[in-house]
Amino acid sequence: MKRLLNKVAVVTGAGRGIGKAVASHYAREGAAVVIAEIDEALGEKLAGELVRDGGKAEFVKTDLNQLSDIDALMTQVGSCFGRLDILVNNAAVTKSLDFFEVSEQDWDWIHNVNTKGLFFCMQAAARVMKEQGGGKIVNIASIAGKGYPATSNVAYAGSKGAAIAMTRIGASSLARHNINVNAICPGVTRTDLYYEVMRGRVQSTGKSEQEIIAALDASIPLRRSNEPEDIADLAVFLASDEARNVTGQSWNVDGGLMWD
């Protein structure tokens, strides 16, 4: 039995990496998936692949920096599918920066997408879900938001701490509307973003990429960094009816790096 049959899901930043894995798992589990992505080529390509594989998918070009894009996204979801059951707030940006290097421009770039975009997507989706009688929101935060020291930079860690706090407040505010809100906190996950951050560390430390990656993997208790699918597996559960009584939680998927 497919676990998300007849559900309609929006996944932000689904063009690559973790978002792409989540969108693909959701389509396989029977959901109609809306790919809300800033990169048109990536979004179109994934929508085509999911449909070719027998799934239902739509690409909606969305820049989470623009509140008007978030409104337009929800309008388009309504006109394509008539409902919204699941939102996965996955899109985020970061780069490797030392504590003293973080500029106001970096701060705004990171927080506009990771904090402001995430909140207004949650709010817009919750408006639809409330009218419908319920829904599921999954925020992709990070163990950086719980203080993981080897994060890309302090502004990013702050944005992910905010995502965890907003997950809890969202869960308590929306529970009476039968909307569950949970976060997933990935640890080290092999995506394009991860390799971009690693290349930044090569420049700042003078070490080779292999050395940096080997040291990072060795620091993980289970000695294994995530593949995007590790996150997608939990995202399926949190969006499914099986998670009906789970809300306000922040689930680490990190091979044992953080215990909180």
Ligand X SMILES: NC(=O)c1ccc[n+]([C@@H]2O[C@H](COP(=O)([O-])OP(=O)(O)OC[C@H]3O[C@@H](n4cnc5c(N)ncnc54)[C@H](O)[C@@H]3O)[C@@H](O)[C@H]2O)c1
- Which residues form the interface with ligand X (CB under 6 A)? 12-13, 15-19, 37-39, 42, 62-65, 90-93, 113, 140, 142, 186, 188-189, 191-194
Q: What minimum distance in Å lies between the beta carbon of 144 and ligand X? A: 6
Q: 3-class SS at 190?
A: coil
Of the pair 30, 102, the CB lying nearest ligand X is at 102
Nearest-CB residue for ligand X: 17
Of the pair 142, 247, the CB lying nearest ligand X is at 142
Q: 3-class SS at 180?
A: strand
Of the pair 240, 250, the CB lying nearest ligand X is at 250
Candidate list 26, 156, 194, 195, residue with the active-site label: 156
Q: What minimum distance in Å lies between the beta carbon of 80 and ligand X? A: 18
Q: What minimum distance in Å lies between the beta carbon of 193 and ligand X? A: 3
Q: At what angle do helices 154-174 and 118-132 cross, to 10 degrees?
A: 20
- Is 148 one of the annotated active-site residues of the chain? no
Distance in angstroms between the alpha carbons of the first and the last residue of the chain: 33
Q: What minimum distance in Å lies between the beta carbon of 1 and ligand X? A: 29
Of the pair 54, 232, the CB lying nearest ligand X is at 232
- What long-range pairs does 197-202 form, CB within 8 A, spacing at least 24? 197/94, 197/95, 197/96, 197/152, 198/96, 199/96, 200/95, 200/96, 200/97, 200/152, 201/96
Nearest partner of 77 among 179, 181, 7, judged by Cα: 7
Q: Write the DSSP string, 127-152.
A: HHHHHHT-EEEEEE--GGGGT-TTSS
The residues annotated as belonging to the active site are 156
